[in-house]
Amino acid sequence: MNNKYLKTLEYDKIIDKLSNYCKTYIGKENLKNIKPSFSKLEVLDLLELTNEAISLIYRKSNIPLSEVPNISVYIKNLESSMVLSNKPLLDIAKLLKISREVKEYFFNDDDFDYSEYESLHSFFNNIYTNKSIEDKIFDVVIDENTIADDASPTLNSLRKQSKKLEQSIRDKLNSFIHSNTYSKYIMEPIITIRSDRYVIPIKEEYKSQVKGFIHDVSSSGSTVFIEPISVFELNNEIANIKVEEDIEIEKILANLSSLLYDYTDKLKYNLNLLGELDLIFAKANYSIEINGIKPVLNDTKYLDLKSARHPLIDKDKVVPIDILIGKDYSSLVITGPNTGGKTVSLKTTGLLLLMAYTGIFIPAKENSSIYVFDNIFADIGDEQSIQESLSTFSSHMSTIIEIINKATSNSLVLLDELRIRY
C-alpha cells in the first residue's frame, strides 16, 4: 500500500500512539517498519496474537518487560572473544534477568491452560534463560566501577592486605599530624590522597621542615600535599598490590566473559523475541485503551462496522457510525452538509481496516465484520502536492488516475469530494 494513502488515513498517528505503549527500544525500532498486511492468514495471526496478549493481561496483569540495554556492540565483542568490562557484563546480566522474568511470567502457573495461547507459546518458550550466569555476574560485578571482594580468593586476600597497609599508613600519619613537633606545620588535621598516594596538607612556608615528596599544591599555593618519607614504602606496597589487584580483576572479567562466548546467538535471539513481544503487548494495551474488539474476518467481501469510532477523536466527543457495504451493494455514497461527518466516516472506515490489518483491535461493537482487501486507496481532502508543484485539482486527478490503474475488484477505494470542476 502506498505510503501516501497510509498518511491520508492517519495511520502514522496510530503508530505514534502505539509507540507510547512500547517499553523497549527494539519494540520502537520494529514500529518504524510496521505495515498493515493484506493477507487474510497473516491478519488472522496478528489479531490472534493481540487477542491472546489481552487475555494474558487480564489474567496475569501486564508482561514484566522493561527497557532492555542495547548490547549489540557487546555481542560483537564476545563473538571476537574479547573481554568485557563491568558495564557490558551488567547489561547482559540485566537482559538475562528480564528474559527470565518474562518467561516465568508465562510459564510459572500450575493451573495455566497453555492450549489457550498457542500463538504466543512459541515466543515465550524460545526465550533463552541462564540464571547461573546471570547470578554469577550480579554476584561478582557490584556496579560499573566495582568488583566484589569475594569474586575470587586471590582478590579477597589482596584487598585484605591493602586494607591493613592503609590502616598502618593512617596510624602513622595520624601520629604525625597530632605530634607536638609537626602539628604546627599542618594546614588541616586530615589525611587525603593525591596520585593514589596518602598525603597530608602542609603549610607552604613549612614544606622544607617535612621530609617527603610533594604530590600537589593547592590552587592558592598556600598548601602543599606531602607524602612523608615514613610512609613511602607502605604507599609503594599498596601501589604494587593495586597492580596485582587490577591483574586479578582482568582475570575475573575474562572468566565471566568466557561464560558468554557460546551464547551470543541466543542473546541476539532474545533481543528479537523481547522486541516482538513488546510490540504484541503494545498492540494489546492500546486495544484495551480504546475499548477495541477483535473483528470477524469474512470471505464474502463486505464490511459491517457497528458503532465504529474514529480512534483519534476524543472518546467523549466522537459520534459512532455504522458502515455496511458489500452485501447488497458494492458502492456507497455519503451525502450531507459541511461538517456533517462525511470525511470522518471515510477515514474511520479506512483507518479501522488498517488497524485490524496490523493486529490492533478496532473501536467498534462486537461482531463487526471486515474483509481483507488486496489494497486500500484513499483520496480524501484537499491535499496540495507541493513536491510536484501540482494544483489541488491536478493532484486529485493524478491520484484518481493512479487508483483507476491499480485498483482491482478486491480493492477498497475511498473518495472524498469527488466532483468535476470547470
Q: Mind listing the pLDDT tens digit for each residue in 18-30?
A: 999 999 999 999 9
Cell reading at 414 = 475511498
Q: Which residues make Cβ contacts (< 8 Å) with residue 141, sequence separation at least 6?
A: 86, 89, 90, 93, 147, 148, 256
Fold equal for 3-9+293-415 and 153-249:
no
* 32-55: average pLDDT: 97
CA distances from 148 to 66, 137, 153, 166, 247 (A): 26, 10, 11, 19, 15
CA distances from 70 to 150, 178, 257 (A): 29, 53, 17
3-state secondary structure (DSSP) of residue 224: strand
Nearest to 348, CA basis, from 379, 382, 311: 311
pLDDT higher than 70, residue 57: yes
Q: Which of 150-159, 254-263, 323-332 has the lowest mean pLDDT?
A: 323-332
Q: Given pLDDT bands bounded at 50, 70 and 90, which one contains residue 182?
A: confident
Q: What whole-number percentage of the chain has pLDDT above 70?
A: 95
3-state secondary structure (DSSP) of residue 225: strand
Nearest to 351, CA basis, from 292, 401, 392: 292
pLDDT higher than 50, residue 171: yes
What confidence score (pLDDT) does residue 385 get?
A: 38
What confidence score (pLDDT) does residue 381 get?
A: 67
CA distances from 315 to 10, 16, 309 (A): 17, 18, 8
Q: What tens digit of pLDDT does each residue of 282-291 get?
A: 999 999 999 9
pLDDT higher than 70, residue 352: yes
End-to-end CA distance of the chain, in Å?
A: 31
No. of helices (H) and no. of strands (E), the chain: 13, 12
Q: What whole-number percentage of the chain has pLDDT above 90?
A: 81
CA distances from 361 to 122, 188, 355, 366 (A): 22, 71, 7, 11
pLDDT higher than 90, residue 340: no
Q: What tens digit of pLDDT does each residue of 85-102 get?
A: 999 999 999 999 999 999
pLDDT higher than 70, residue 140: yes
For domain 3-9+293-415, the CATH architecture is 3-Layer(aba) Sandwich (3.40)
Radius of gyration of the chain (CA): 34
* 271-278: average pLDDT: 97
Contact yes or no for 199/192 (Cβ under 8 A): yes
d(CA 73, CA 51): 35
Domain 19-35+39-147+260-288 of CATH type 1.10.1420: yes
pLDDT higher than 80, residue 130: yes
Q: Given pLDDT bands bounded at 50, 70 and 90, which one contains residue 387?
A: very low
* 155-172: average pLDDT: 96
The domain defined by 153-249 folds into MutS, DNA mismatch repair protein; Chain A, domain 3 (1.10.1420)
Domain boundaries, the chain: 3-9+293-415, 19-35+39-147+260-288, 153-249
Q: Given pLDDT bands bounded at 50, 70 and 90, which one contains residue 393?
A: low
